Amino acid sequence: MKEDVEHMLPRKKEIILYATLTEHQRNFQDHLVNRSLETYLKEKVNTGHGVTVQLNNLVLQLRKNCNHPDLLEAAFEGSCFYPPVEEMVGQCGKFQLLERLLKKLDARNHKVLIFSQWTKILDIMHYYFSETGFEVCRIDGSVKLETRRQQIQDFNDPNSKYKIFLLSTRAGGLGINLTAADTCILYDSDWNPQMDLQAMDRCHRIGQTKPVHVYRLATAQSVEGRILKRAFSKLRLEHVVIGKGQFQQERPKKDLEVLEEEDMLALLQGDETAEDKMIQTDISDEDLERVLDRSDLIAAGPAKADGKPDFLASTLPLKGPGWEVVIPTATGGMLSTVNN
């Protein structure tokens, strides 16, 4: 049944876009890693074992730094005020990439869904959009049902002024139809790949008439980039088996968000390959234009003899400086090119 529905839908392409750390973020990262690892190693020597909780917290703090260092600074300073927009954008490589991407999508009149696991990131985005003149919709766990319904209706209206919808990954999952959007941006990746698949399905579902692009943002040469390569393939997908029309989630021995000690150290200390270093860099404006092209997702002519539409071949390589294209597979297509 689901396979039949998928053949009826417009095509979808998922692309990972990388952003490099700013100097501000790199200073935070170096401080976090050096201080925490030093304490960890001392514990290891004194007690014969490390402190897994401490490393887990370190991974969380590093992920926050990748999303925006204000997640760390605001908590430390106790401030509820944001810096000026230009300064706020300049502090975070991923936010700079988001701004570049949204400007190009807006110029092409695409409607966009933006997902994040952190409501504080949605707060930062809301501030940014209000300061730059964008009116946006938003759904997170605090939004009441009636308000959700009204925002969904307003966004899906063909004459709507809203072109951007902010959603928390968990609250904006099942039961929400936002087919007015033809673009999905995953600002950060969920530990459970099924959550991200459900997020994409908010716009790639019955009722969608346009090809869909999914952009998964990641910070290059950071714990986040390594999580994409290691955790999704070797740690997370062993717990989730995705099939056509159904998935089976095994009961893990430990919580999905708790990594083994050796895995966390590998994430923090792992070396990038030459290919990683080539891919995990800032994407150029010229390549970003190529990535945004959707001509290969639109039927080039009438259906062939086998009844399948004829599509143009994509001119975009699967990998390049700043991007990777995810190849769909029979098991769900989660980040398959990252490990090929």
| Tens-place pLDDT, residues 8-67 | 788 999 999 999 999 999 988 888 888 775 666 566 666 666 556 666 788 888 999 999
pLDDT higher than 70, residue 73: yes
Report the distance separating Cα 19 and Cα 67, nearest Å: 11
- The CATH label, of 3.20.20.10, 3.30.870.10, 3.40.50.300, 3.40.50.10140, for the domain at 2-21+83-297+314-330 is 3.40.50.300
Average pLDDT over the chain, rounded to an integer = 79
What does the pLDDT read at residue 69? 92
The pTM (predicted TM-score) of the whole model is 0.84
Nearest to residue 182, comparing CAs of 217, 152, 160, 209?
A: 209
Taking the C-alpha atoms of residue 302 and residue 93, their distance in angstroms, rounded to an integer, is 43
Give the pLDDT confidence of 289-328 residue by residue, as tens digits. 999 999 888 865 554 555 555 566 677 888 999 999 987 6
In angstroms, rounded to a whole number, what is the distance separating the alpha carbons of residues 92 and 57?
A: 21
Distance, in Å, from the CA atom of 91 to the CA atom of 129, rounded to the nearest integer, reads: 17
pLDDT for res 242: 42
139 close to 172: Cβ distance less than 8 angstroms: yes
Q: Hey, where are the domains in the chain?
A: 2-21+83-297+314-330
Rounded average pLDDT over 236-240: 44
Cα gap 281→50, rounded to integer Å: 33
Quick: pLDDT tens for 78-123: 556 788 999 999 999 999 999 999 999 999 999 999 999 999 999 9
- Torsion-angle region of residue 224: left (phi > 0), alpha (psi -120 to 50) or beta? alpha
Residue with more model confidence, 160 or 78: 160
Closest CA to 112 of 138, 78, 93, 144: 138
Query: How many whole angstroms from its chain centre is CA 315?
Result: 24
Q: Which pLDDT belongs to residue 240? A: 44
The token pair at 274 is 């030459």
What pLDDT score does 247 carry?
Answer: 46
- How many Cβ atoms from other residues are within 10 Å of residue 5's Cβ? 11
With a CB cutoff of 8 Å and minimum separation 6, the contacts of 149 are none
CA distance 140 to 144: 9
Q: What are phi and psi of 231, to 5 degrees?
A: -65, -45
Q: What confidence score (pLDDT) does residue 35 get?
A: 76
Per-residue pLDDT at 136 exceeds 80 = yes
**Higher local confidence (pLDDT), 155 or 170:** 155
Q: What is the pLDDT of residues 167-189, one digit of tens each?
A: 998 886 667 899 999 999 999 98
Judge residue 181's burial from the number of C-beta atoms within 10 Å of its C-beta, 0-12 exposed, 13-18 middle, 19 or more buried: buried
**Residue 248 predicted with pLDDT over 50:** no
Distances (CA, A) of 203 to 10, 111, 144, 334: 11, 10, 21, 17
